[in-house]
Structure 1
């Protein structure tokens, strides 16, 4: 996965690669964007980064998202970090990362279970034992999508003396 900030229009708002990786590791949610038969389709998702070049998301085993990805696997994932509206300054402070890559489905059962454990570690770390039992019990009702990213970039806006 290559960090490519040269294509970001606002070069004055670049987020350093270390900050982008931090947001990728700890961001709470992202918006997965894809192409469906009806046109563009974006949906908020929980995700977990594998520490390398992929993220996993979970979903129901059927639906519009899976239909779209089966035909058009190219996707982007926009992760939104800290956001702070500054009404008196008519602006917003923010940080975000956008990743581009390909969605993969029909993963092995071993990879799917590993992805569920990664999600539990991230989203419910104090409930790992119960989460593992829940994951095994609901395994047949869950689809896991792996998104292999090729490039990503990050932006951040901070306003001096905003406090």
Structure 2
């Protein structure tokens, strides 16, 4: 995964690569954005898991808008939000965010699909691994996995300095 902040306008708000990777790894959900089959923008929240290399996995039903969109336009964007702190009296928000760009693929072999499901279980339900394994096996036939091969990612944050 290439960390590339060249397109971030506010150079004073760059997130370190190390923190960006933590957010990708730890965040519980992201917003997957794509172009639907009619050429319109389409974004939807998803659970994701990073393989700690160059791929992000997302699970979904074996049919639907996401899969139709990816079949026609496989380039996608994933936005992940880290820490957020609303500051109403200052009319601003402190935040961290990571934007990932990549190529989405479906139709993975059974071994990779099951590996992705296990990664999701380990991330989102670590205290229920045995039960998660049974559930994954039982629902495997009605689960699709989207693999996002990450081309690059960037990170941005805003911190408000406290004044006395």
Which runs of structure 1 show a deviation greater than 4 angstroms over 4 or more consecutive aligned residues? none
Question: Which aligned pairs between 1:56-135 and structure 2 lie closer than 5 A?
Answer: 56-135=57-136
After TM superposition, give the deviation of residue 139 of structure 1 in Å: 0.2
SS at match of 2:89: helix
SS at match of 1:134: helix
**Structure 2 match to 1:8:** 8
User: Partners in 2 of 1:102 and 1:162 — Cα distance?
Assistant: 44
TM-score w.r.t. the length of structure 1 is 0.98
SS at match of 1:51: coil
- 1:14-55 CA-partner distances (Å, limit 9, x unpaired): 000000000011011100000011500000000000001110
User: Partners in 2 of 1:58 and 1:38 — Cα distance?
Assistant: 23
Q: What is the Cα-based RMSD across aligned positions, in Å?
A: 1.1
- 1:69-98 CA-partner distances (Å, limit 9, x unpaired): 000000000001111110000000000000
**Structure 2 match to 1:161:** 162
Question: Which residues of structure 1 form unaligned runs of 5+?
Answer: none
**Structure 1 match to 2:40:** 39
> Contact between 1:46 and 1:57, CA under 8 Å: does it hold in 2?
yes
After TM superposition, give the deviation of residue 162 of structure 1 in Å: 7.3
